[in-house]
Amino acid sequence: MGLADIVVEQLESTVVRSGIGKRVFKNSFEDKQSGGENNVISWLWNAGSRLVGFLVAEGGKLISFTLTGLWSLFVSTAQFIWNFNWNMTDTEIDQQIKQRWEALGGMLGGVLGNAVGYLGCGILPGAVIFAFNEPLGAYVLKNVAEEMAEEFTANLAGLVRYTFMSGVQSLILWGFKNVRKFIKSNSSLVGKLFGSGAEKMTKAWGSEGSKPWSFALAVDNAVESIPNTFVRNFVEEFLEEAWDGCVEAGYVVANSIDSYMALEKLKQQNQPPMGKTRYVEIKPDRTIDDQRIILAGPQEALKPIIVQVLTNYQMMEDKDIGSFVGTPIDEYLRAKPRTISLQIQFFSNKTPPWMKQGTNRLVSASCSVPDIDPTKLDWQNIKLACGGANGYLYGRYRVTGFLDNGRQMAVYASTAEEAEKRIRDLLLLSKAKLLKKPTITEDRTEDSAGSYLKQPVKIYPAYFTILNQYQVPGALGSGIPISGKRYVRKNDRIDLWVETKPFDFEARIIELLKKPGAESITT
């Protein structure tokens, strides 16, 4: 078997790769965004975009390298160097480079001409037929487009291969020409190193009328000069078969590696598919336009994640992470344990999500109203006490009120008057009364730039929590240790940022105001 007997189409790697998937031209030309209105312009636009995408994808496959292709490049380059005439003149070198460039122009014109011919005599008539008879036109265009894609990709493959090989050979010719020119320009140095004979040979190298010389001619002349016919035939066949065997073995090795990689790819494609990559936008609460969760991934992998996200949202929707802290130590020592208190949360964002948006930082504040009066727990009254739908201006002035129940209550605002008004409005919801006029202080803490940390900013009521805790005998497992005794706590979160009162407001307030029983805790 000789080198010429190798047929690329019959290589095992080619057969395996063809089994992975055949080239399919999608002929679904319906525009899904056209609202059902089909016309020749929209059809041609969609068909053209799909055709271009297909050609780009196929063109990308043409420039993908395999070991078989790389070995073929190595063999052709080695044969080119083996038969290369090292006494070729500069004129002959320039002529060969020019011939390769001119041949490339002919091949490029053939590829583009074939494509233009299909467009002018195939696609355009099909479009005209489509304008008068859509089913017939779609059928004609489908067949023409498929044939055009096949022809174009085949021609493009030949053009790419020829361009690459011609580029490599032209680069070798150009490099040889310049290296030889450099050596000849330093022929005197060659003469000093190797003698006058070498200098004369260097000057005569590549001159007009020089006798051709190549590795192939030198070896052939050497073999032909062997006087013994037996030895001459042995050497000639040995060299020829050694080269053919090396080339064939290289193809077998490269083809085996390509086949193995193709089989592995086929195994991966035969595994149960996870589906196409999907992008899912989840809106857990339809009343909150700005709260969206974006997920991306394989379709089958996304299904359990979507369920998990919605479950987590439902579990954490009415929960607070952490607790309100910062109660002064003197209040903790002298005040009675809390029973029912109102914890109100404010944010600089009027609606959820309560997080930083763009360059604007998120400002949050909280206020605790102790010993609330259950008869005054009206949703509208609570919201008005917090400043209403427009909130109030938060800032560095702190107003601290000392109450008759031994506790304190503090509010921050941009001015002392605003802070005092806010604390008095909120105390209307409590049974506790002010013992004296509230104390006014100013937080003058500065940041690294020398500005006050608490800058005036509008904050809005977000939600409130009713904290309900009672001392329950026997509640050792879930009780809260306060002043050496055990208390059980009930809490819930009710939104204030919404425009209307929640429909179940009264039912939730009644449930929160119930005194927990010891039985329900110990079970």
pLDDT tens profile 169-186: 888 888 888 888 888 788
Element (H, E) at 459: strand 457-471
In this prediction, residues 243-259 reach a mean pLDDT of 88
In this prediction, residues 504-517 reach a mean pLDDT of 78
**Token pair listed for 16:** 């395996």
pLDDT tens profile 18-63: 554 544 444 444 444 444 444 555 555 565 555 555 555 554 454 4
Q: What pLDDT band is residue 326 in, cutting at 50, 70 and 90? A: very low
pLDDT exceeds 90 at position 461: yes
d(C-alpha 324, C-alpha 364), whole Å: 12
* pLDDT, the chain, mean: 76
pLDDT tens profile 62-112: 445 678 878 887 888 888 888 888 888 888 888 888 888 888 888 888 888
Give the DSSP letter string of 235-292: HHHHHHHHHHHHHHHHHHHHHHHHHHHHHHHHHHHHSPP---EEEEEE-S-TT-TT--
Give the DSSP letter string of 174-208: HHHHHHHHHHHHTHHHHHHHH-HHHHHHHHHTT-T
pLDDT exceeds 90 at position 346: yes
**Token pair listed for 194:** 């190797």
pLDDT exceeds 60 at position 301: yes
- Give 404's contacts (C-beta < 8 A, 6+ positions apart): 432, 433, 434, 435
Q: For residues 149 and 52, is the Cβ–Cβ distance under 8 A?
A: no
Among candidate residues 175, 174, 207, 151, the one with its CA nearest the CA of residue 101: 174
User: What residue type is 187 in one-letter code?
Assistant: S
3-state SS of 15-71 is HHHHHHCCCCCCCCCCCCCCCCCCCHHHHHHHHHHHHHHHHHHHHHHHCCCCHHHHH
For the chain, the straight-line distance linking the first and the last C-alpha, in angstroms and rounded, comes to: 89
Among candidate residues 121, 155, 154, the one with its CA nearest the CA of residue 140: 121
Q: What pLDDT band is residue 329 in, cutting at 50, 70 and 90? A: very low
Q: For residues 331 and 406, is the Cβ–Cβ distance under 8 A?
A: yes
Q: For residues 77 and 250, is the Cβ–Cβ distance under 8 A?
A: no
pLDDT of amino acid 198: 78
Other residues' Cβ atoms within 10 Å of the Cβ of residue 76: 13
pLDDT of amino acid 32: 43
pLDDT of amino acid 426: 92
Strands 408-413 and 397-402: antiparallel
d(C-alpha 143, C-alpha 336), whole Å: 88
Domain boundaries, the chain: 277-316, 329-522
pLDDT of amino acid 333: 46
- Give 134's contacts (C-beta < 8 A, 6+ positions apart): 38
CA dihedral for 139, 142, 145, 150, sign (positive or negative): negative
Q: For residues 277 and 296, is the Cβ–Cβ distance under 8 A?
A: yes
pLDDT of amino acid 63: 47
Among candidate residues 98, 290, 28, 70, the one with its CA nearest the CA of residue 165: 70
Task: Please state, for a pLDDT cut of 70, what percent of the chain lies above it.
Answer: 74
Task: Give the CA radius of gyration of the chain.
Answer: 44
d(C-alpha 164, C-alpha 173), whole Å: 14
Q: For residues 334 and 406, is the Cβ–Cβ distance under 8 A?
A: yes
pLDDT of amino acid 24: 46
Q: For residues 352 and 336, is the Cβ–Cβ distance under 8 A?
A: no
pLDDT exceeds 60 at position 515: yes
Q: Work out the widest C-alpha separation in the chain, in whole angstroms.
A: 131
In order of 172, 180, 216, 237, the CA distances from 93 in angstroms are: 10, 12, 19, 32
pLDDT of amino acid 522: 33
**Token pair listed for 7:** 């047929």
Q: What pLDDT band is residue 411 in, cutting at 50, 70 and 90? A: very high
CA dihedral for 327, 328, 329, 334, sign (positive or negative): negative
d(C-alpha 73, C-alpha 80), whole Å: 11
pLDDT tens profile 124-144: 888 888 888 888 878 888 888
In this prediction, residues 355-370 reach a mean pLDDT of 82
Q: Is 510 left (phi over 0), alpha (psi -120 to 50) or beta?
A: alpha
pLDDT exceeds 60 at position 121: yes
Q: What pLDDT band is residue 217 in, cutting at 50, 70 and 90? A: confident
pLDDT tens profile 372-408: 888 888 999 999 999 988 899 999 899 999 988 888 8
17-31, 192-206, 238-252, 504-518: which is most confident: 238-252
pLDDT of amino acid 406: 82
pTM exceeding the 0.95 threshold for the entire prediction: no
